[in-house]
Structure 1
Amino acid sequence: MAANLTLGVDIGTTNVKATILDTDTGKIVAHASREHPLFHPRPGWAEQDADNYWGAVTASIRACLEQGAFANAIRGVAMSGLVGVTIPVDQNGKPLRPAPIWMDARSERECADIRERVGEETINRNNGNRIAPWFIEPKALWIKKHEPHIFNATHKFVSPTGYCTLKMTGTFSINTGDAGLFYPFDYRRECWNEDVAAAIGIPVDKYPRIYRSHEVVGEVTRQAAAETGLSAGTPVVAGGTDISSAALGAGVTEAGQAYYSMGTGSNLGIMIPTEQDVDEFRILKWPHVLPGLTMFDAPMAFTGASLKWFRDQFGDYEWRLAERIGQNVFDLFTAEAARIAPCADGLLYLPYLGNSLAPNWNSNACGNFFGVRPDTTRGHFIRALVEGVAFDLYSNVKIAQQAGVKLDRLILNGGPAKSRLWTQITANVVNLPLAIPDIGEAAPFGDAILAGVGAGIYPDPVTPVKTIVTIRETIEPDARIHERYDEFFGLWSRVYENLRGSMDEHRALLERYQIGQEH
């Protein structure tokens, strides 16, 4: 086989996906995925083991390589991954503790400390973002305060992508997208701001060297080759965030385009020129994999995770039925929800099973159903789950529009995008067309394109996308149904606002009585 293949690997919150791209034909020739665990040791905590990332990466790569004689034909590798994950490693690259991830909410006090000592405006101006536990430094300061021996032993703080790139190459690195979640990163100059790092209280030498997404970091080592099945010496590029790589893979390459990624969590990403000032910090900003573009990005925590929670807790019958008839268990759930009218006969769901990210940024938020009546059925609950997730998206769409960002459609990708009911509900709620590209998993595909640039196959990331990515179909909104959703959205928003104080009291009681903590 001619050596014209590239490998892309995306490290998601609950699974890793790997894709091999034939750059001659623009076709995916192999794909595989492997799950990895997520731990909630206390209320509001969410941790993962960095070596579980690497284990899932190696397993998914090997599963791809088993699908053909590919190993010696792969000319480049790139990885992407979830963001907002704080992995402290020693000088040998060994993880020093489980990594608090993006949904971890333990560091509110550290956020308050950063606001007092550094100032929200300083962070806004340098990094383009707000102060919240979602980011790296609040969690790093929590480690510094509660586990000083870990902080002092930390050689570098790395991202999941950076950690697995380290395991692949032996080089400490971070791509510009992942760096955007670190407050000392100057997102316009693409460098570490030593003054901001010092003000926060983290030595700047604990941050890795920054690489652009298509730049080569190193080569596959002999040890990594033995673990993955790849050929030693294969170039490895820096990669990107899971969302920005997925945006590339879905064909989002120009300012003004918007992307909605649905998975365990979800992201609304709107492309803006990096030099453009958008004075709105409820929605985040971080670098796209394409230099000169910034993603005006709204992360939401419990998208697919909401329906997965329902499946795990109440779906024994569907599990057994799906196994017996060979059907996807989630299709059984959505079929039940499809029999329920829009707005679930008044049942509303707040999709905050651990916290709320954009736009509310409330670490004490918790999930709620509102409007249960004697005739409320399982189907109502399932439909309300999907609609609640769509309402969360709609709240961010409205904020972006109010900030002056123009939206005419959303380009859609991710697991729930395979459900026609889910996509139609989403289109009706946000009142925007949803364009679905004719691709599978966008993030590893985007990574494979970046690998092709690093390997010298492509002149830039945009050129191959123009010829490979096409729109399979567009889901149009129903304006009449949207009017109904818009009214219920107003009520849904007020339910959250009315419960904010009660959510704070609820979290305090959980902590007081150590409910949900491991002993």
Structure 2
Amino acid sequence: MRGHLTLGIDIGTTNVKAAILDTNTGKLVAFGSKEHPLFHPFPGWAEQEPGNYWSAVVSAIRQCLDQGRFADDIAAVALSGLVGVTLPVNDQGRPLRPAMIWMDARSEPECEDIRTRVGEAAINRNNGNRIAPWFIDPKALWIKRHEPHIFSAIHKFLSPSGYCTFRMCGNFTMNTGDAGLAYAYEYQKESWNEGIANAIGIPLEMFPRLYRSHELVGEVTRQAAEETGLRAGTLVAAGGTDISSAALGVGVTKAGQAYYSMGTGSNLGIMIPTEQRVEEYRILKWPHVLPGLTMFDGPMAFTGASLKWFRDQFGDSEWRLAERMGQNVFDLFTAQAMQVPPCSDGLLYLPYLGNTLSPNWHSNATGAFFGIRPTTTRSHFIRALIEGVAFDLYSNIRIAREAGVAVDGLILNGGPTKSRFWNQITANVVNVPLQVPDIGEAAPIGDAILAGTAAGIYSSPVEPLDRIVRIKETIDPDPKLHERYRAFFDIWSSFYQHVRGDMDAHRALVDRYHSG
């Protein structure tokens, strides 16, 4: 008998989250999570060990299964994960090197090679995106140039979710969302373009077979069952990207809807019909988990990571107090930020702790504070961190509007959005209402819905959303505060543009002395 439960698993940049959905009630019955590490072996590099993805997936699943006798009733499982990751494996599925993730900026010379050999216009026309180290191809070319012995052994390039799907069912697969991060993927046709692949120099056979997110790709193998505790033969769906699965999980399913997902990094996702061409390439485009929809998406690199950096480097006292009082350490930081007026008495923060993604796409960008005075306190720095992240979002919203894409409100998801204080700052900066769904982590929920569709429990991924998604609060902006923020935003933007060239020179100097 087919089970009535489904399992969704999302592999985030630093955390794997899993959830079991009861399809009869539309409620989650179990949740598990497990952190996994991120490594920066050199300036501008960002890598992860694929085995750590799988270990965290196994841990999160077992946490869920420890909460009840669920395994025999799970009909299907689907995984999503972080995007823009170059993870090469051999023909046995074994990783050949650490995965180079989206924030890895080492492949700028390879980007220039693609611009010269293929052309920005050809990539734009085929894939809908710009040329930048964030994507799979430049990092793959870096391997080809610097590690040719590895490149010659590559059987497939997988995403983190594709690698763990392989570990789950033994098949090499790629969902169309992950494929959107490879330049050979022709997003308006849902197919590979062999001419583009050959021109870039990445053979098309190095990419797996394509699947839509709700399609079946296999069954849980006996070995995976022994590792995870799942029942062998449980159906496995293709899954999606972390951002598109989260969009489904909060009910963003129609053209014109938009949402803001916050975690280590963040994404502004605006839904457009796939056939619509938007000639703006500072903001990306990749497939939604729903066929026919494309996400006009602005990724930003250091969102929650900014406050996490401050916590790790300067938060010893908050750590100790949080442990003693049983509180969330981030709540202690935001309580301090509340004591500072909007715009932090002029202190501005550029949230670029390693590079900047949309809209500036500047691999040599670094974080910076501007406006420090003798009266600037620790609390000012905390509030400025939050406001700087909101300014980064606002810069993308303004560009989307200039491109003719309307943004009248945002549906929220992710860890930082649990803070009403942070949400109110965001609303005041971007000047649109924010809707907060009554939902935990949206991506694993979206994955569980995709799994249910693959198993035939749902006729489509949108069918169960009315029972699952509820909006619990709408946060409206304060127009007067927005005017203040907008004035400081102009200075914030101008400051970055003035120091951009110095950031490039600074990076060259750092690289020279680091290598020496």
In the alignment, what sits opposite 1:127? 127
Q: Note if contact 2:269-2:295 (Cα within 8 Å) is conserved in structure 1.
A: yes
Please tell me the residue identity of whatever aligns with 1:280: E
Please tell me the residue identity of whatever aligns with 1:64: C
RMSD of aligned C-alpha atoms?
A: 0.9
In the alignment, what sits opposite 1:408? 408
1:388 and 2:388 equivalent?
yes
Runs of at least 4 residues of structure 1 off by over 2 A? Answer: none
Q: What is the alpha-carbon distance in structure 1 between the residues aligned to residue 210 and residue 229 of structure 2?
A: 27
1:425 and 2:459 equivalent?
no
Q: What is the alpha-carbon distance in structure 2 between the residues aligned to residue 356 and residue 186 of structure 1?
A: 26
In the alignment, what sits opposite 1:164? 164
Q: Deviations over 1:358-385 (max 9, x none)?
A: 0000000000000000010010000000
1:440 and 2:466 equivalent?
no
Say which SS state the counterpart of residue 462 (structure 1) adopts.
Answer: coil
Q: What is the alpha-carbon distance in structure 2 between the residues aligned to residue 254 and residue 203 of structure 1?
A: 35
1:466 and 2:463 equivalent?
no
Q: Deviations over 1:382-407 (max 9, x none)?
A: 00000000000000000001110111
Please tell me the residue identity of whatever aligns with 1:399: I
Offset at residue 467 of structure 1 (A): 2.7
In the alignment, what sits opposite 1:33? 33
Say which SS state the counterpart of residue 267 (structure 1) adopts.
Answer: strand
In the alignment, what sits opposite 1:494? 494
Offset at residue 466 of structure 1 (A): 2.4
- 5 Å-filtered alignment, 1:181-260, equals 181-260=181-260
Q: What is the alpha-carbon distance in structure 2 between the residues aligned to residue 60 and residue 150 of structure 1?
A: 31
Q: What is the alpha-carbon distance in structure 2 between the residues aligned to residue 3 and residue 210 of structure 1?
A: 27
Q: What is the alpha-carbon distance in structure 2 between the residues aligned to residue 251 and residue 206 of structure 1?
A: 34
Q: What is the alpha-carbon distance in structure 1 between the residues aligned to residue 323 and residue 466 of structure 2?
A: 40
Offset at residue 470 of structure 1 (A): 1.2
Q: Deviations over 1:38-80 (max 9, x none)?
A: 0000000000011100000000000000000001010010000
Q: Deviations over 1:78-104 (max 9, x none)?
A: 000000000000000000001110000
1:324 and 2:332 equivalent?
no
Say which SS state the counterpart of residue 463 (structure 1) adopts.
Answer: coil
In the alignment, what sits opposite 1:477? 477
Query: For structure 1, which segment, 402-411 or 1-10, has the greater mean C-alpha deviation from structure 2 after superposition?
Result: 1-10
In the alignment, what sits opposite 1:50? 50
Please tell me the residue identity of whatever aligns with 2:31: H
TM-score by structure 1 length? 0.99
Say which SS state the counterpart of residue 239 (structure 2) adopts.
Answer: strand
In the alignment, what sits opposite 1:451? 451
Please tell me the residue identity of whatever aligns with 1:201: G
Q: What is the alpha-carbon distance in structure 2 between the residues aligned to residue 240 and residue 43 of structure 1?
A: 30
In the alignment, what sits opposite 1:106? 106
Q: What is the alpha-carbon distance in structure 2 between the residues aligned to residue 436 and residue 445 of structure 1?
A: 16
In the alignment, what sits opposite 1:60? 60
Say which SS state the counterpart of residue 354 (structure 2) adopts.
Answer: coil
Q: What is the alpha-carbon distance in structure 1 between the residues aligned to residue 46 and residue 314 of structure 2?
A: 23
Q: What is the alpha-carbon distance in structure 1 between the residues aligned to residue 437 and residue 372 of structure 2?
A: 37
In the alignment, what sits opposite 2:338? 338
Q: What is the alpha-carbon distance in structure 1 between the residues aligned to residue 39 and residue 153 of structure 2?
A: 24
- 5 Å-filtered alignment, 1:258-269, equals 258-269=258-269
Say which SS state the counterpart of residue 39 (structure 2) adopts.
Answer: coil
Q: Deviations over 1:142-166 (max 9, x none)?
A: 0000000000000000100100000
Say which SS state the counterpart of residue 165 (structure 1) adopts.
Answer: helix
In the alignment, what sits opposite 1:96? 96
Name structure 2 gaps, 5 residues minimum: none
Q: What is the alpha-carbon distance in structure 2 between the residues aligned to residue 298 and residue 408 of structure 1?
A: 16
Q: Deviations over 1:203-240 (max 9, x none)?
A: 11001000000000000000000010000000000000
| Alignment length (residue pairs) | 516
Q: What is the alpha-carbon distance in structure 1 between the residues aligned to residue 456 and residue 76 of structure 2?
A: 9
Q: What is the alpha-carbon distance in structure 1 between the residues aligned to residue 125 and residue 51 of structure 2?
A: 35
Say which SS state the counterpart of residue 336 (structure 1) adopts.
Answer: helix
Say which SS state the counterpart of residue 412 (structure 1) adopts.
Answer: strand
Q: What is the alpha-carbon distance in structure 2 between the residues aligned to residue 43 and residue 486 of structure 1?
A: 33
In the alignment, what sits opposite 2:85? 85
Offset at residue 468 of structure 1 (A): 1.8
Q: What is the alpha-carbon distance in structure 1 between the residues aligned to residue 467 and residue 280 of structure 2?
A: 35
Q: Note if contact 2:408-2:433 (Cα within 8 Å) is conserved in structure 1.
A: yes
In the alignment, what sits opposite 1:146? 146
1:270 and 2:270 equivalent?
yes
Offset at residue 283 of structure 1 (A): 0.1
Q: What is the alpha-carbon distance in structure 1 between the residues aligned to residue 62 and residue 16 of structure 2?
A: 12
Say which SS state the counterpart of residue 501 (structure 2) adopts.
Answer: helix
Q: What is the alpha-carbon distance in structure 1 between the residues aligned to residue 207 and residue 443 of structure 2?
A: 25
Please tell me the residue identity of whatever aligns with 1:407: V
Q: What is the alpha-carbon distance in structure 2 between the residues aligned to residue 336 and residue 186 of structure 1?
A: 48
Say which SS state the counterpart of residue 153 (structure 1) adopts.
Answer: coil
Please tell me the residue identity of whatever aligns with 2:442: A
Q: What is the alpha-carbon distance in structure 2 between the residues aligned to residue 483 and residue 514 of structure 1?
A: 43
Say which SS state the counterpart of residue 380 (structure 2) adopts.
Answer: helix
Q: What is the alpha-carbon distance in structure 2 between the residues aligned to residue 339 and residue 475 of structure 1?
A: 20
Say which SS state the counterpart of residue 253 (structure 1) adopts.
Answer: coil
Say which SS state the counterpart of residue 44 (structure 2) adopts.
Answer: coil
In the alignment, what sits opposite 1:176? 176
Offset at residue 2 of structure 1 (A): 8.3
Q: Note if contact 2:2-2:75 (Cα within 8 Å) is conserved in structure 1.
A: no
Q: Deviations over 1:168-220 (max 9, x none)?
A: 00000000000000000010111110000000001110010000000000000
Q: What is the alpha-carbon distance in structure 2 between the residues aligned to residue 2 and residue 130 of structure 1?
A: 44
Q: What is the alpha-carbon distance in structure 1 between the residues aligned to residue 202 and residue 268 of structure 2?
A: 31
Q: What is the alpha-carbon distance in structure 2 between the residues aligned to residue 480 and residue 47 of structure 1?
A: 43
In the alignment, what sits opposite 1:115? 115
Q: What is the alpha-carbon distance in structure 2 between the residues aligned to residue 467 and residue 188 of structure 1?
A: 31
Q: What is the alpha-carbon distance in structure 2 between the residues aligned to residue 232 and residue 297 of structure 1?
A: 37
Say which SS state the counterpart of residue 103 (structure 2) adopts.
Answer: coil
Offset at residue 256 of structure 1 (A): 0.2
Q: What is the alpha-carbon distance in structure 2 between the residues aligned to residue 299 and residue 217 of structure 1?
A: 28
Q: Deviations over 1:435-466 (max 9, x none)?
A: 01111100000000000000110000011012
In the alignment, what sits opposite 2:379? 379
Please tell me the residue identity of whatever aligns with 2:233: G
Say which SS state the counterpart of residue 85 (structure 1) adopts.
Answer: coil
Name structure 1 gaps, 5 residues minimum: none
TM-score by structure 2 length? 0.99
Q: What is the alpha-carbon distance in structure 2 between the residues aligned to residue 408 and residue 173 of structure 1?
A: 37
Say which SS state the counterpart of residue 513 (structure 1) adopts.
Answer: helix
Please tell me the residue identity of whatever aligns with 1:191: S
Q: What is the alpha-carbon distance in structure 2 between the residues aligned to residue 77 and residue 109 of structure 1?
A: 39
